[in-house]
Structure 1
């Protein structure tokens, strides 16, 4: 049992920190997902902090149509239990592995993702680990941004620091050890958009070191063989999201009013 209100059903997922079960609310018969984390196996203070961050930020940011909703969480010395919205098994990563996306499909996903981030940024929260694995879909196919374990507060006066993120998606200023702002999330979204359109990331290498070197160089290219059928408007948005200079990089609000987004990728 997650709590006396929720009854556990079958296991539907397993991660580094714990196990996810399908569960239902015995008072309403609504179906949810229940993430149960064994805190006793967490020896790293960073891992422990990430797990404590997740329910805190999800509670602050809910409800939003494109953010994974949290319904309940409890914690004791040994276990952290989080009841969240039940989503489809396939993440955006799984979908990208299967196929490339048309421009309208990519625009539909991007407007939902950026809408979620615009909400976060307006509340002074940066996600800091945007990647396809953290992007889910509900039963109706609506995008839900999840995994806020690396999230952090920011403001005009308070920049962020620290190496966080995932190879391919991490912004160059993070890897360069600089203080940074919420636009690191926009860089990561730009990588995802590039990946959706052509099936490969814009910056890559044979290992993490080579990937990081490519990211820091930030040499954005549009190979003809890959981008022959991609519109100039989509490429313009990519340039503005994957701008190495954060002061010139688009904000979430600017992305939302770019012509390619407003036209639905048409």
Structure 2
């Protein structure tokens, strides 16, 4: 078992060593772990120890998320789930049963955590904290990846209900992976639910203001959260609706003669006017307070007309994202070690002045399901 008290030697099943804590959410704790035999990196999600529910409930929550991720496995922009332990036939035997019980002390058909894909570049929110707002072509590139992944999720009959930059990870090639399906629900043909889930700042108004006995369209709620993510990428702030700006009627994504010069949000008007009409249309459609006026994901896919991945575009995106990260690391390096106050005669280079991380651009990248909008 994972023992939080001894962080220097945390081990899982004597094979995987815990490296560091990646994040702690409302119900789970995620750690990066390394296979000590081949140095393969994974992540492992545990139920929070301070979660005030029974152990059986914790296991049920983990199992539910694991089952959801396994059903959604296969899309290049959705985080993959790996089972560390298969459901063991040996557990039905006495020796196997006792060994499992000693290790876990729980019902033996499931593990008390689940293994997931490790994303080298962390969460999108962590990346954005250290960067300026993204240029439109990069934000649109990621919007298309998100749209493709969310389309897949909705086609499978699921609503995510916690789409946010914290739950969007970046792999080693800076392609996105939607993660954290702990709030996801299976809804199939009936999208109206009464369960309030998600993160308040990313919630659609009808979810945030939900009262007892009311329902909302879970698919449309995901669309609003998607709009929040795109807005954050472009403006690096949450959208605040300006009450004095009112758009009458329904915003039609396919209507070419509609005027979109005025931004209905508290944002940089120069950036807004610099966006293409297409991006403005999408933001206004997704962030409409009225869910009936928001598009479903298949309508957005039709509007974007998602194309197969383009390797030259992927190369440009990777180079730009890596350049921004490297510049940030170099700036930090200069502030800490280049300035005289930091690198004095008494500071030994080997103990303090470390080099900035440099990552070479790969010649072949995979994981993107969509193309950038020029």
Q: CA deviation at 1:253?
A: 1.8
Indicate conservation of the 8 Å contact 1:73/1:80, yes or no: no
Structure 1 position 188 matched with structure 2 position 225: yes
Deviation at 1:36, TM superposition (A): 3.6
SS at match of 1:8: strand
Q: Which range moves more in the overlay, 53-62 or 14-23?
A: 14-23
Question: Counterpart of 1:227?
Answer: 272
Pair 260,168 (structure 1): closer, same or farther in 2 beyond 3 Å? farther
Range that drifts further, 50-59 or 131-140: 50-59
**Shift of residue 62, structure 1, vs aligned partner:** 0.6
Structure 1 match to 2:22: 13
Runs of at least 4 residues of structure 1 off by over 6 A?
Answer: 260-263
The question of whether the paired residues in 2 share the 8 Å contact of 1:12 and 1:22 is answered with no
Rounded to whole Å, the distance in 1 between the matches of 2:240 and 2:64 is 29
1:187-228 CA-to-partner distances (Å, cap 9, x unmatched) read 101011111112211138xxxxxxxxxxxxxx9436524413
Task: Tell me the TM-score normalized by structure 2.
Answer: 0.59
The one of 142, 148, 172 aligned to 1:109? 142
Q: Which region of structure 1 is more displaced relative to structure 2, 17-26 or 106-115?
A: 17-26
More strand by share: 1
Deviation (angstroms), 1:158: 5.3
Q: 1:123 offset after TM fit, Å?
A: 0.8
Q: Name the residue aligned to 2:12.
A: 2
C-alpha spacing 1:164/1:29, structure 2 compared with 1 (3 Å)? same
Q: Separation in 2 of the partners of 1:265 and 1:85?
A: 28
TM-score by length of structure 1 reads: 0.81
Q: Provide structure 1 residue ranges, at least 5 long, that are not aligned to the other structure.
A: 205-218
Structure 2 spans left out of the alignment, 5+ residues: 1-10, 86-103, 242-262, 308-370
Aligned equivalents of 2:156 and 2:36: distance in 1? 30
The aligned residue for residue 118 of structure 1 is 151
User: Secondary structure at 1:168's aligned position in 2?
Assistant: helix
Check 1:77–1:14 CA distance in 2 against 1; reply closer, same or farther (3 A cut): farther
1:239 equivalent to 2:248? Answer no
Moved more, 55-64 or 6-15: 6-15
Once the two structures are superposed, the pairs formed by residues 1-266 of structure 1 within 5 Å of their partners are 1-3=11-13, 6-16=15-25, 17-24=28-35, 26=37, 30-37=40-47, 39=49, 41-44=50-53, 48=58, 50-72=61-83, 77=106, 80-97=112-129, 98-157=131-190, 159-177=192-210, 178-181=214-217, 182-203=219-240, 220-221=264-265, 223=267, 224-259=269-304, 264-266=372-374
